[in-house]
């Protein structure tokens, strides 16, 4: 059961099917353009959408809004230092700001960043600094149906080969995304982190964590890695951070705040250079683009997020929804992660070709049928067509992500999602695809307009 009770509530919008049909037409079938007031259950992201605790709100009220050296900064600094052990901590307003500052300082054209899988903003920031982002996911990640536990791991053989090979001297850093959001929200084992750390150390290559969901990763380690069965998630997290030379963190996930992030570093010279860029572009080094209250709420959230009762319930809710989804006859990337479920839309809608976007088709049906907003992760996001609309590149899988905001929806909300999916699955062959009417040259899924085919 939930290890909390509800003190403050917010009504959720209830629309008629006709209102949803009109809304979808008005936004040219792009779910990003809906007003949130038109969405009943919003599973677009787990980022910045969590519910604050009473203790976080209280900490925020006590926030110190001094421009420099605020009490809030020192509380935040102490909380992050104790958790991560890094010598230098720089606040930033969110994860991608931390990425930009670190990559602009550390990378240059011609260099390579290796990762288990780069999240899309991480890749974009690597590429914006002129470097190459290369993914080395483990082989198990390719089988969506296998229930192996650490499909977020990096491919150690490929990592070792690259570091030893002709490109080795160009590798500027290795990034491990925990959990692996780009790869189904799958966790990385401590064994994989240790071996990666040792390889990086041997080659003198900095090793960084993209730690947005470090607590969920730690929980799954305590469940599935025998050596860690008797440890607390907090102990696992502390050890994981100490295997790396630094981290980038989007606190909008596993610090359960609406805005926030940070960089953690051991290298004093790198920290100094990052700090200069931070001051020039985010804010002074003791607030980094945040209010004092945000820093206090982050500090508090970082202690709550590793509580076993909180993590156990979060895993249980994901498993509950996964069960409902499978019973509806819809496959997911197995095993279910903790922050999201990834629906296999390609398999549910085999009659819709990739260039008519089966993932987007399912996402639109979820909205029309149940007022549920989700995110397509398929060929609308990753594919390309030529000027005549003929496909030139499609995504490896046609997926829809149902992200689970922290402490926000109850099991009955998720039962509604399961029931809606069951209705759609029953008449899957009548679900129609889409064609793009207009699109932008990059990140087209955010801004594309579409029409049914
Ligand atoms: N790294 C990972 C693994 C992420 O999932 C995200 C954001 C970021 C970095 C960037 O952080 O949003 O604070 O700037 N993921 C969100 C999502 C947007 O929906 O998965 P940010």
Domain boundary among 284, 304, 324: 304
Structural domain range at position 438: 17-39+307-452
Across the range 423-432, mean pLDDT stands at 97
Span 429-449, mean pLDDT? 90
Instruction: Specify whether 312 is located in the same domain as 246.
Output: no
Active site residue 445: yes
- The DSSP element (H or E) to which 209 belongs, if any, is strand 207-210
pLDDT tens for 215-235 read 999 999 999 999 999 999 999
Residues 258 and 160 in one domain: yes
Q: How many domains does the chain have?
A: 2
326 and 434: one domain? Answer: yes
Known catalytic residue: 119? yes
Residue 394 near ligand 1, beta carbon < 6 Å = no
Judgement on whether residues 326 and 258 belong to the same structural domain of the protein: no
Average pLDDT, rounded, for the chain: 96
Q: Which helix (H) or strand (E) holds 435?
A: strand 434-438
> Could you read off the pLDDT of 37-56 as tens digits, one per residue?
999 999 999 999 999 999 99
Q: Say which residue, 89 or 385, is predicted with more confidence.
A: 89
Does the pTM exceed 0.90?
yes
ipTM confidence: 0.99
Could you tell me which residues are beta bridge partners of residue 289?
A: none
Mutating to test ligand 1, I would choose from 50, 94, 96 the residue with most ligand atoms within 8 A of its C-beta, which is 96
Reference 216, options 73, 335, 94; nearest CA is: 335
Q: Is 361 a catalytic residue?
A: no
Same domain membership, residue 418 and residue 274 = no
Q: What local confidence, expressed as pLDDT, does residue 390 receive?
A: 83
Show which of 264, 281, 304 is a domain's final residue: 304
Confidence of residue 291 (pLDDT cuts 50, 70, 90): very high
CA angle, 234 then 239 then 244, to 5°? 130
Active site annotation includes 58: no
Query: Quick one: 370 and 448 in the same domain?
Result: yes
Q: Which ligand 1 atom is the nearest neighbour of the CA of 179?
A: 3
Cβ pair 389, 406 in contact under 8 A: no
Among residues 33, 120, 267, 316, the one annotated as catalytic is: 120
Three-state DSSP class for residue 42: strand
For residue 46, being part of any structural domain is answered with no
Do 428 and 446 lie in a common domain? yes
Evaluate whether residue 361 is within a structural domain.
Answer: yes
Please, which residues have CB within 8 angstroms of residue 165's CB and are 6 or more apart in sequence?
Answer: none
Domain boundary among the residues 270, 304, 338 is at: 304
- Alpha-carbon torsion 414, 307, 154, 82, what sign? positive
The 10 Å Cβ neighbour count of residue 353 is 16
Residues 137 and 178 in one domain: yes
Lowest mean pLDDT among 132-141, 324-333, 438-447: 438-447
Residue 386 binned pLDDT confidence (cut-offs 50, 70, 90)? confident
Instruction: Please indicate whether residue 119, judged by its CB atom, sits closer than 6 Å to ligand 1.
Output: yes
What is the tens place of the pLDDT at every residue in 105-130?
Answer: 999 999 999 999 999 999 999 999 99
211 and 141 together in one domain: yes
CATH number of the domain within which 295 lies:
3.40.640.10
Is 12 domain-assigned? Answer: no
């Amino acid at each position: 059961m939930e290890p909390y009770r509800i003190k403050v509530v917010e009504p959720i919008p209830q629309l008629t099917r006709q209102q949803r049909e009109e809304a979808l037409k008005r936004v040219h079938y792009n779910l990003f353009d809906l007003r949130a007031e038109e969405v009943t259950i919003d599973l677009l992201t787990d980022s910045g959408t969590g519910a604050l605790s009473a203790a976080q709100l209280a900490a925020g009220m006590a926030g110190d809004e001094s421009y420099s050296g605020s009490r809030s900064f020192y509380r935040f600094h102490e909380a992050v230092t104790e958790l991560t052990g890094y010598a230098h901590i720089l606040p930033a307003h969110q994860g991608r700001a931390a990425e930009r500052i670190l990559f602009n300082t550390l990378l240059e054209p011609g260099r390579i960043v290796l990762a288990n899988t780069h999240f899309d903003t991480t890749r974009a920031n690597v590429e914006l600094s002129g470097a190459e982002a290369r993914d080395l996911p483990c082989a198990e990640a390719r089988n969506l149906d296998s229930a192996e536990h650490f499909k977020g791991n990096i491919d150690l053989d490929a990592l070792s080969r690259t570091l030893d090979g002709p490109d080795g001297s160009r590798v500027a850093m290795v990034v491990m995304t925990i959990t692996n959001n780009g790869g189904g929200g799958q966790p990385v084992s401590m064994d994989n982190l240790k071996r990666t750390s040792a390889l990086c150390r041997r080659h003198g290559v900095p090793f960084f964590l993209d730690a947005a969901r470090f607590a969920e990763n730690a929980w799954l380690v305590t469940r599935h890695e025998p050596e860690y069965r008797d440890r607390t998630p907090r102990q696992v997290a502390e050890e994981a951070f100490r295997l790396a030379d630094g981290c980038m963190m989007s606190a909008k996930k596993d610090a359960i705040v609406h805005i926030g992030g940070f960089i953690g570093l051991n290298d004093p010279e790198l920290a100094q250079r990052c700090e200069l860029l931070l001051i020039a572009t985010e804010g002074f080094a003791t607030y980094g683009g945040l209010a004092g209250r945000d820093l206090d709420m982050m500090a508090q959230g970082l202690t709550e997020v590793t509580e076993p009762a909180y993590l156990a319930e979060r895993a249980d809710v994901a498993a509950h929804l996964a069960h409902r989804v499978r019973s509806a006859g819809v496959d997911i990337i197995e095993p279910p992660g903790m922050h999201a479920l990834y629906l296999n839309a390609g398999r549910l809608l085999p009659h819709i070709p990739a260039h008519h976007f089966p993932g987007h088709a399912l996402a639109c049906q979820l909205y029309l049928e149940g007022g549920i907003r989700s995110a397509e992760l398929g060929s609308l996001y990753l594919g390309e067509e030529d000027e005549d609309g003929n496909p030139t590149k499609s995504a490896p899988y046609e997926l829809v992500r149902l992200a689970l905001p922290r402490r926000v929806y109850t099991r009955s909300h998720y039962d509604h999602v399961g029931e809606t999916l069951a209705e759609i699955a029953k008449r899957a062959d009548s679900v129609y695809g889409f064609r793009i009417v207009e699109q932008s040259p990059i990140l087209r899924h955010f801004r594309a307009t579409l029409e049914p085919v």
